[in-house]
């Protein structure tokens, strides 16, 4: 049995979110502990919080929402690539990993071990340079994932360019992954965003299944 690795972050009240986006509040509207007949909660959060996906609609008027995403985009073989650069992901570093057409690629940067420890927004997280986004668009990868809240930089302010480049090339974007417990390599990915109508973004559960080693012949 191979073990499944959960690469989603736990949603909770007061957790980190993109500056200016709605905060997260999960409250009980009824509670067995208070004598109600059942426990029920109200979830309130922005659509780009925690582990989530972006749809073309996020940056293109009339673009596709996540409810229209083909499930194959984020279910299937994937590769986790370790990014060494401490500031951003560059085309040079991507080139060394021989990124191929149709690949699902998750970038494990230092964000995974650094950024999720705090509920405060980390401004200098590792992100894609605009050139790296163009490189991925030209290579026609299928889906990309990053281990913090955006594929674009906060201080660099290249988020619009990076998102438009990727989404415009038909690349589906996973954000807010936690890859701290994942070694670089090949996996089976299952990442499923909630099916919300005309969704610019939606929370997702993301899982990796290690690909079992083929037994060596004696």
Least gap, CB of 175 to Zn ion (angstroms): 5
Closer to Zn ion at the Cβ: 21 or 68?
Answer: 21
Least gap, CB of 31 to Zn ion (angstroms): 34
Q: Which of 17, 48, 52, 58 is catalytic?
A: 58
Closer to Zn ion at the Cβ: 81 or 171?
Answer: 171
| Contact positions vs Zn ion (CB under 5 A) | 54, 150
**3: which strand partners?**
none
Helices 159-168 and 130-139 pack at an angle, to 10 degrees, of 0
Secondary structure letter of residue 58 according to DSSP? G
Least gap, CB of 152 to Zn ion (angstroms): 7
Closer to Zn ion at the Cβ: 47 or 112?
Answer: 47
- Which residue is at the shortest CB distance from Zn ion? 54
Asked whether the beta carbons of 159 and 57 are under 8 A apart, the reply is no
CA distance 160 to 162: 6
Whether 58 sits among the annotated catalytic residues: the reply is yes
Q: Going by DSSP bridges, is the β-strand pair 143-146/104-108 parallel, antiparallel, or unpaired?
A: parallel
User: Which 3 state secondary structure label does DSSP give 18?
Assistant: coil
Active-site positions? 58
């Amino acid at each position: 049995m191979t073990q499944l690795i959960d690469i989603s972050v736990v949603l909770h009240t007061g957790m980190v979110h993109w500056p200016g986006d709605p905060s997260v509040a999960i409250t009980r509207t009824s509670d067995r502990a208070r004598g109600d007949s059942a426990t029920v909660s109200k979830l309130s959060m922005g659509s780009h919080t925690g582990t989530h996906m972006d749809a073309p609609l996020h940056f293109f008027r009339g673009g596709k929402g996540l409810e229209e995403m083909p499930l194959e985009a984020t279910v299937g073989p994937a590769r986790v690539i370790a990014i060494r650069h401490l500031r951003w992901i560059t085309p040079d570093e991507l080139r060394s990993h021989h990124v191929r057409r149709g690949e699902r690629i998750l970038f494990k940067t230092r964000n995974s071990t650094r950024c999720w420890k705090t509920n405060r927004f980390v401004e200098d997280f590792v992100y894609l340079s605009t050139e790296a986004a163009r490189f991925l668009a030209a290579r026609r990868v299928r889906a990309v994932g990053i281990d913090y809240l955006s594929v674009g930089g906060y201080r660099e302010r290249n988020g619009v360019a990076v998102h438009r480049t990727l989404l415009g090339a038909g690349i589906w974007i996973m954000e807010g992954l936690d890859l701290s417990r994942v070694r670089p390599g090949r996996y089976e990915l299952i990442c499923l965003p909630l099916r919300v109508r005309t969704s610019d973004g939606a929370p997702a559960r993301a899982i990796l299944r290690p690909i079992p080693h083929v037994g060596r012949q004696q």
